[in-house]
Homo-oligomer: A and B are copies of this chain.
């Protein structure tokens, strides 16, 4: 069965890359605070980095801050990725980093927004509302969802690290277990910060087959080798590494993406994968 992760695996093979290029038009990075500037910033990044990108990850917040014109910009940026996919003859998945999470009929509306209206292939979701808040996003195997599990920010400890009574394990491992139970169509992944290699290793042990989205190796300071060592599956895949500012703020973003892609390959090789 074709599913979101069969598409992603194919793309990873086509470009020999685990790099996920983040499309985060921070106000600081734009010549003017406008949706048009955000769009231009992202379109340039997409064009320069597409051949090295296993996936693109636009963060909805940086478009939403501009209101309606921001959503037009987001749609254009996703369309530009689809154009690059056609040019390269290889589908580059778009993961909309939206961290949504709402109950049944509302979750359906969010799924319609991300997949049908915007054209994204996957979305990030918060697990706090449980199964019926996630299911509407998983109805079609070709569309996927990454559930927040252990995030890369300081506040992650407030809830995610709490030990669940009777299991002796932190809450984030319960999320990893639930995500696997809900993954009946090969379209559920997890978000696990690369800034906590110890936690990454524990989630990998608990979910040996899942794909992880592991932010934090760029500006947030996570160690790339430690993250790969902790997070790769036994087949040397299963880990997408989103990088935003370390690419977009480089003098030559295309070159920065190529260098990062190759650095990841070197480490994979050294780790024996």
Contact = CB atoms under 8 A, between A and B. Distances in A.
Interface in A87-136: 97, 99-107, 109-110, 112-113, 117-118, 126-134
Contacts of A153: 103-104, 129-130, 132-133
Contacts of A141: none
Contact of A152 (B66, B103, B113): B103
Contacts of A156: 129-130
Interface residues of A, number: 62
Interface stretch (A163-171, A206-214, A249-257): A163-171
A187 interface: no
B129 A151 contact: yes
A102 B163 contact: no
Contacts of A112: 65
Contact of A61 (B72, B102, B163, B166): B102
A178 interface: yes
B75 A67 contact: yes
Nearest to A127: B159
A61 B178 CA distance: 25
A162 to B, nearest CB: 5
A158 interface: yes
A37 B25 CA distance: 31
A36 interface: no
Contacts of A113: 61, 64-67, 70
B128 A154 contact: no
A26 interface: yes
Contacts of A159: 127-128, 130, 171, 174-175, 178
A218 to B, nearest CB: 13
Contacts of A72: 67-68
Contacts of A164: 162-165
Q: Which 5 A-B pairs have the closest CB atoms?
A: A130-B155, A130-B158, A163-B165, A61-B109, A68-B71
